[in-house]
Amino acid sequence: MDPSSASSTIPTVTQRDQWMVESQVFQIFQLFSSIPQTAQSLMLELQRDNHITYLTKSLSHLPPSFSVLDANRPWLCYWIIHSIALLGESLDYQIQHNAIDFLNRCQDPNGGYAGGPGQMPHLATTYAAVNALITLGGQKALASINRDKLYGFLRRMKQPNGGFRMHDEGEIDARACYTAISVASVLNILDDELIKNVGDYILSCQTYEGGIAGEPGAEAHGGYTFCGLAAMVLIGEVNRLDLPRLVDWVVFRQGKECGFQGRTNKLVDGCYSFWQGGAVALLQRLYSVVEEQLAEASQISPKSDVAEEEQESLYGTSRNATCHFTHGGTGEPGFSDFKNIGYNFINEWRARDPLFHSIALQQYILLCSQEQEGGLRDKPGKRRDHYHTCYCLSGLSLCQYSWSKNPDSPPLPKVVLGPYSNLLEPIHPLYNIVLERYREAHEFFFVES
């Protein structure tokens, strides 16, 4: 699926499709369990060098302007540059220079980034370009982002119902809310005007299943669930969602193939290692709010040992619907500083045990999604691509750090499947940016400017 074009099709998965995928995956697992341990270690090895070769080759040959991928080039930049950063590799100076220059040519004179030079600015490619530039890092890349104009573009996309349009006259959905709020948050241009009624819009997308849909009345989907949940965290209104129901929906999307599916009755796919895995990673850190909601529902006092005040400052409180941290509900200015939510979220790491099977997911990614020659894919039988490489690696990183209580302490070897050399760089789960690059950008946009 392509995140820049977003209509949800009616599920067409048959029992036969499901059996085919299951049997392919189980054959791989069976082969794996029948071979000696040394051969198993080889099968579980992350083919780091081959992934780097696949990715760097593609970056130096971005599709020319007539290509069908024309409107996707900032995405390609992000998927590739982020994957390389996850793998702990740095880019050649000339390639970095070319990428900054290309993204700058995609920047619209009135703000935002388009899919290619001279095209119409779009929220999805704006998110991709901003994340790519932050990942490239350094003064030249960060200073190339025209934040004043970008703010104007975000305001132009803002809708009275609280949502955002993807582009002028474009669709309004949960993806647009996330991409707008994510870039505003990371660039320190988030304000009450942008936040206004976003929470109401996203709340109206949470479905009876518990997951979040692209728009009100549609089907819950992993991609939109990540977007809706992350946006709600970033605006300080996550407590307004029905979190226990959300946890319930997302954890049941991890199937017997060990990977995640995007929605009920659909096939497992490596990219949901991030979209669903990311949502579970966020929920893991929000668990005290989940417990609070559960306790409220059953009138039992919460089990959480986290100080109540600390919780309120980050996530609001679920005890009243228009709590002091809820923007848009009361119209009162928030007491808490929503601008620092992204930063505090990562620093106040108090992880519970993961809410999903992180070793099983690593097994799916390494054995079923990984191509030995480099690149990662949706599932066995599919071809590698940059989108799946990016989101499989992002999901793998989330798994590896899912047991860590502290973002700066390396994971124990037993939670990293395969050799310890498989370890990737940690990411900021709200933005999907490598943590170290996020920190540099935070310093640049919050401290220095």
Active site residues: 221, 263, 266, 269, 271-272, 378, 385, 388
Which residues lie below 8 Å from residue 34, measured CB to CB, with a gap of 6+?
A: none
Following DSSP, what letter does each residue of 158-213 receive, concatenated? B-TTS-BBSSTT--B-HHHHHHHHHHHHHTT---HHHHTTHHHHHHTTB-TTSSBB
Helix (H, G, I), strand (E, B) or coil at 344: helix
Report d(CA 280, CA 419) in Å as an integer.
Answer: 25
Q: Which residue is nearest to ligand FPP (CB)?
A: 223
Tell me whether residue 268 or residue 441 sits nearer to ligand FPP (CB atom): 268
Name the β-bridge partners of 428.
433
333: left (phi over 0), alpha (psi -120 to 50) or beta: beta
**Nearest approach, Cβ of residue 2 and ligand FPP (Å):** 8
How many H-runs (helices) and E-runs (strands) does the chain carry? 20, 2
Whether 292 contacts 317, CB under 8 Å: yes
Binding pattern for the stretch 257-276 against Zn ion, x by CB under 5 A and - elsewhere? ------------x-x-----
- Judged by CB under 6 A, the residue of 47, 83, 179, 362 near ligand FPP is 179
Part in contact with ligand FPP (CB under 6 A); list of ranges 41-49, 55-63, 135-143, 260-268: 260-268
20 binds ligand FPP (CB under 6 A): no
21 binds Zn ion (CB under 5 A): no
- Judged by CB under 6 A, the residue of 178, 345, 431, 438 near ligand FPP is 178
Give how many residues touch Zn ion by CB under 5 A: 3
**Nearest approach, Cβ of residue 168 and ligand FPP (Å):** 18
State the Cα torsion 207-211-214-218 to the nearest 10°: -40
Binding pattern for the stretch 362-401 against Zn ion, x by CB under 5 A and - elsewhere? ----------------x-----------------------
Residues belonging to the chain: 449
124 binds ligand FPP (CB under 6 A): yes
**Token couple for 106:** 């995609």
Q: In Å, what is the CA distance from 171 to each residue of 4, 128, 396, 397?
A: 11, 18, 31, 32
- Judged by CB under 6 A, the residue of 263, 379, 384, 442 near ligand FPP is 263
Which partner from the list Zn ion, ligand FPP, none does 223 bind, CB cut-off 5 to 8 Å by kind?
Answer: ligand FPP
Which partner from the list Zn ion, ligand FPP, none does 378 bind, CB cut-off 5 to 8 Å by kind?
Answer: Zn ion
Residue among 174, 36, 75 at smallest CA distance from 166: 174
HSE of 358, CA atoms in CB hemisphere, 13 A: 23
**Nearest approach, Cβ of residue 172 and ligand FPP (Å):** 14
221 binds ligand FPP (CB under 6 A): yes
- By the criterion CB under 5 A, which residues form the site for Zn ion? 269, 271, 378
- By the criterion CB under 6 A, which residues form the site for ligand FPP? 1, 3, 6-9, 124, 127, 175, 178-179, 221, 223-224, 227, 262-263, 266, 269, 275
